[in-house]
Amino acid sequence: MPDTEDNTSVVPDSAEFPSAEQVSNKSRARKCSRRKFLKYTGLVAGAAVAGAAVDALVIEPHGFQVTRPTIPVNNLPSAWDGVQIAQITDIHVGRFSDLDDARRIVEMTNDLHPDIVVLTGDYVSRADAISRALVEVFRDLRTKRKFAVLGNHDHWSNAKGVIASLETAGIPMLINSHRILDRRNQSLCIAGVDDFWSSSPGPDVVQALSGVPREIPRILLSHNPDYAEQLPSSPRVDLMLSGHTHGGQVKLPLLGPLRLPINHSKYAEGLIPAPRCAVFVSRGLGMVGVPIRFNCRPELPLITLKRTIT
Ligand SMILES: [Zn+2]
């Protein structure tokens, strides 16, 4: 026998169907909650955009942040173990930063009581920012041991003027040259090279470290971190300190830095291993292009060097 089908009716009583009025009420409620959802989403998105704009235009640009990286250095003499180096870089006085910003940076640096201050370039963004008043600001840096190199914007503005200003303020320039520091009869070398982009004849680490005994650890200042890719195998460099990138200045979530003026994007910021040595790149303290920083606070690093033995 063929299978039989159960022909019992599955159609419910008409009483189980919603009325036309009920359907219309439900749809009105759905539309209403969708409108509410869109309204609140719009409000939240609007508040987020407004918050980001306030952050990028008002809060971050001059919200200098002290960071405290600890960096190991091979065979650092015990007398220099724990030495603290403040790094001032990329202030860019003259366009989006002014003398008050520079003064605050110097005061913050003095308050950190570093053993050494290194200045890694781009002090000004235009020639008319080089002034007697700027010299007086830099002269207030209290640390005895302080050294500087030039950045591309210093060259483009007026390199001679910047050199004269810093040296008048008591800050020696290390242009392909070095100084040997002494502490309890143990030595540390701070060397500097000229800017990678804009100087002529350019950065020269061989000249910068000429005559430095092999056993003395060397810290090299180079405004542009890309120079790390060009370091020869000799002379040895133990650590390079750089700026120039501003960390990208604007870092979008998921997308990262909008613009990095370097060939090797790994040098955007922080401590990076390079072919010959470690490189520390500060996000710097000023701005170029636009008066905006986002997700990329201006940085005043107080670096602690830690002795490691190999
Ligand atoms: Zn810069």
What is the CA(90)–ligand 1 centre distance, in A?
A: 4
Residue 262 lies in a domain: yes
Mean of pLDDT over the chain: 90
For residues 103-120, average pLDDT: 98
CATH of the domain at 190: 3.60.21.10
Give the H or E element holding residue 107: helix 99-112
Q: How far is the CA of 142 from the centre of ligand 1 (A)?
A: 24
- Spacing, Cα 61 to ligand 1 middle (Å): 14
Please report, as a single letter, which amino acid is at residue 173: M
Say how far apart CA 138 and CA 125 lie, in whole Å: 16
Claim to verify: residue 110 and residue 218 sit in the same structural domain: yes
Two structure tokens written together for 28: 């009105």
Per-residue pLDDT at 72 exceeds 60: yes
- Amino acid 5: pLDDT: 44
pLDDT at 274 over 70: yes
Query: How far, in Å, is the centroid of ligand 1 from the Cα of 197?
Result: 12
The whole-number pLDDT of residue 35 equals 77
- 157 is a domain residue: yes
C-alpha 268 – ligand 1 centre gap (Å): 12
Q: Which of 62, 95, 116 is the last residue of a domain?
A: 62
Are 288 and 299 spatial neighbours (Cβ–Cβ below 8 Å)?
no
Residue 5 placed within a domain: no
Tell me the CA–centroid distance for residue 115 and ligand 1, in Å. Answer: 24
* pLDDT digits 0-9 by tens, 148-196: 999 999 999 999 999 999 999 999 999 999 999 999 999 999 999 999 9
Q: Do 234 and 288 have their domain in common?
A: yes
Residue closest to 88 by CA, chosen among 39, 44, 32, 134 = 134
Q: Percent of the chain scored above 70 by pLDDT?
A: 89
Establish if 292 belongs to a structural domain. Answer: yes
Tally the domains of the chain: 2
Range of the domain at 37: 18-62
Answer yes or no: do 32 and 154 share one domain.
Answer: no
Nearest one of 77, 69, 71, 70 to 217, comparing CA atoms:
77
Confidence category of residue 12, pLDDT binned at 50, 70, 90: very low
Contacts of 106 (CB under 8 A, 6+ apart): 137, 138, 140, 141
Give the C-alpha separation, 91 to 242, whole Å: 13
**Which residue, among 62, 65, 111, 105, has the nearest Cα to 84 in the 3D structure?**
111
Query: Are 36 and 77 within one domain?
Result: no
16 alpha carbon – ligand 1 mean position (Å): 74
In a domain, 11, yes or no: no
Cβ neighbours of residue 182 closer than 8 Å, sequence gap 6 or more: none
Residues 303 and 267 in one domain: yes
Q: Give the pLDDT band (50/70/90) at residue 7.
A: very low
Q: Note whether 30 and 138 are same-domain residues.
A: no
Same domain, 257 and 162: yes
Q: Domain check: are 50 and 77 in the same one?
A: no
Do 163 and 261 lie in one domain? The reply is: yes
**Is 37 among the domain residues?**
yes
pTM: 0.85
Q: Exposed, middle or buried by CB within 10 Å (0-12, 13-18, 19+), for 131?
A: middle
Asked if the structure places residue 273 within a domain, the reply is yes
- pLDDT at position 38 is 72
For residue 92, report the distance from its CA to the centre of ligand 1, in Å.
6
